[in-house]
Structure 1
């Protein structure tokens, strides 16, 4: 028996399956046509089902932020990159316990962290590849000079359990419209060249130069030296991605289905999607609010409580009725997905499938000890 949106209890994330397929195909084609290795970040979807499709379309491996993501994605992929500093005994132990047949790469920006990582690799009986992360403008993590990167590469060259794999950066500071990124990308190219030259001068040329971020991904082929991209948001897209021109509004595949629960206050409507369904991240582009309606983008979620979202309908001729369902495009889709246990795949108003957000959360070490092991699907 068919299931339709009106039968779903809201709030709930729904994915337009046709838009999802288009987004996956588009990025895969872009990477192939421009000779870039595609290593998508799973932080957006956290789903082995979608990861397997990315791999089928040509991805060379997967990028993860958490150990939970790496553990779950090792079920479908044997080439995992943990793009997060490997600091802390618990994290290192868990890292080393990933399946032995998984080629494991991590990002690092500190020689001291390499020593602890090397011990963990030896105790785990494995070789771990290391990408040196450079801070090229985000000012979050990363070595701050080419000389520091070169010193780290030489340190890795002397290790018996670690292997220098290349250079990585995250251009998250580039948030301008896609058509206005030329100057920032040119500076990025100059900075990368300085790092590559320094590494080459000490006999450690990087075989991989990897850049992330959906907002800048579509122009990474213009940056000399870059041969890998790690976008994540592109699978679903969101309001920010659309606002900066990295996708069209019609490419927003994931929305949070919500129900209008009150229309008592003039000029607004209240939906049952609050911070626990949409998050509270401000728009990282021109505009305000915490989301907008897919079918009425002029209607924004102007305020949020935990379970209430306030729709500002003052700029729209549309007037919602009590019980209406609406589709909200969140400002930041990665946060919204992480707030739910499962996602529903739809075409039109028909629900065709559902899948768990399998890699959400952190999972305790005890859970890992007792969790059943499943064979890799692909």
Structure 2
């Protein structure tokens, strides 16, 4: 197979180990694993996760759900509010085709839209809880409890439980802070679920999710489900947080040096259109440059659209290959049409650019 740079390479053995490790953790804790497929957008990887024991998958957007369902994956959680008739009609189409679909709500408008579908038997929903990210969701407390009781009373909606994402863990400065966020995520969610149960509501699911916090929040008694995504690859941000080591990272960008305009500068053929411009969520400043390189004397200091600028000592010559663990694997995969696997296979990124 002729492979030209820049391209994405997956180490299959590392990928399999990462998948198995999280599946084994979930099994030991007695929690369901519902990995987030937005991290990879590749049906082959989703099927590997299911084969390893995942209960289903999570997606961010309906378009991802449509792609994954077309590939034979039936149990799908859309962890994103659906607003508008067009999206609700698409959700209905998935249900009509036999998809076991769970939706997310955090507002009366969202819940009423799903209820108006009048789907026979009702549509399963989880209520989004804000445990500190301050994005979507309601914080634990009276407003959340009142909303859940109201949702539970809708005739065509099946209230199944609570869901959160502790994405603020990406602002942490190291493992101790990640641990604290993860434990609080789990404990706050269990406390919120218990408060609802005391009011007579049946809460089947207490779902938490993020790769950094999965093994902390997932160890809290009462949590029923974890939804990590990035763990299949890991990346420079996860390494900086202490969640993974470089040797755990299964995804790399392979590039070529195309210019040496100065002694202390080399240019590679992977720029922002390959590596994205992500330097870590929340501006935490944990990462250096735009990835971990195969030589720690070098730093990928700048990106333009088609160029990456390397600086450092003993820089590689024109024609040399440079391997890069990206800062954030998820958008990098979304920018690629395909990935090259170490066993010689070529996998299409089937849900690439699926943003609606």
Interval of TM-score (by shorter of Structure 1 and Structure 2) = over 0.9
Which residue of structure 1 lines up, in the alignment, with residue 151 of structure 2? Answer: 156
Instruction: Report how far residue 219 of structure 1 moved.
Output: 1.7
Q: Answer yes or no: is 1:239 the counterpart of 2:236.
A: yes
Q: Show the counterpart of 1:371.
A: none
* Contact kept? 1:292, 1:298, Cα under 8 Å: no
Indicate which of 61, 67, 75 corresponds to 2:62: 67
The residue that corresponds to 2:94 in the other structure is 98
Q: Is the 8 A contact 2:208 2:227 kept in 1?
A: yes
CA contact (8 A) 2:6 2:270 kept: yes
Aligned to 2:317: 321
Q: 1:199 aligns with which of 180, 196, 199?
A: 196
* Contact 2:266 2:310 (8 Å CA) reproduced: yes
Matched, 1:49 2:44: yes
Per the TM alignment, residue 279 of structure 1 is displaced from its structure 2 partner at its CA by 0.4
Paired residues of 2:161 and 2:193 also in contact (CA < 8 A) = no
Change (3 A) 1:128 1:50: same
CA contact 1:146–1:194 (8 Å) conserved in 2: no
Structure 2 gaps, min length 5:
none
* Superposition pairs of residues 121-140 of structure 1, within 5 angstroms: 122=118, 125=120, 127-140=122-135
Aligned position for 2:290 = 290
Q: Distance in 1 between matches of 2:73 and 2:354?
A: 19
User: SS state of the match for residue 352, structure 2?
Assistant: coil
Q: How does the TM-score come out when normalised to structure 1? A: 0.87
Query: Aligned residue pairs: how many?
Result: 349
- Name which of 190, 207, 216 aligns with 1:210: 207
Deviation at 1:18, TM superposition (A): 1.0
Which residue of 2 is the match for residue 83 of structure 1?
Answer: 79
Following superposition, the deviation at residue 20 of structure 1 comes to: 0.8
Could you say if the C-alpha distance between residues 48 and 186 of structure 1 is closer, same or farther in structure 2, counting changes exceeding 3 Å? Answer: closer
**1:181 is paired with a residue of what secondary structure?**
helix
In the TM superposition, what is the alpha-carbon distance from 1:222 to its structure 2 partner? 3.3
CA shift at 1:328, angstroms?
1.1
The residue that corresponds to 2:349 in the other structure is 357
Separation of aligned partners in 2, 1:281 and 1:237? 14
- Tell me the alpha carbon deviations over residues 42-86 of structure 1, each in whole angstroms, 9 at most, x when there is no partner: 011101111111101100000000111101111322211000011
1:178–1:216 contact (8 Å) kept in structure 2: no
Q: Aligned partners of 2:9, 2:269: CA distance in 1, in Å?
A: 15
Structure 2 Cα separation of the partners of residues 345 and 332 of structure 1: 19
Gaps of 5+ in 1: 365-378
Q: Quick check: 1:23 aligned with 2:18?
A: yes
1:368 counterpart residue number: none
- 1:218-367 equivalent positions in 2, closer than 5 A: 218-284=215-281, 286-293=286-293, 295-314=294-313, 318-346=314-342, 352-362=344-354
* Aligned partners of 1:292 and 1:299 also within 8 Å: no
SS of equivalent to 2:143: helix
Q: CA deviation at 1:126?
A: 6.2
What is the Cα deviation at residue 182 of structure 1?
3.9
TM norm structure 2: 0.92
What displacement does 1:354 show? 0.5
Q: CA RMSD in A?
A: 1.9
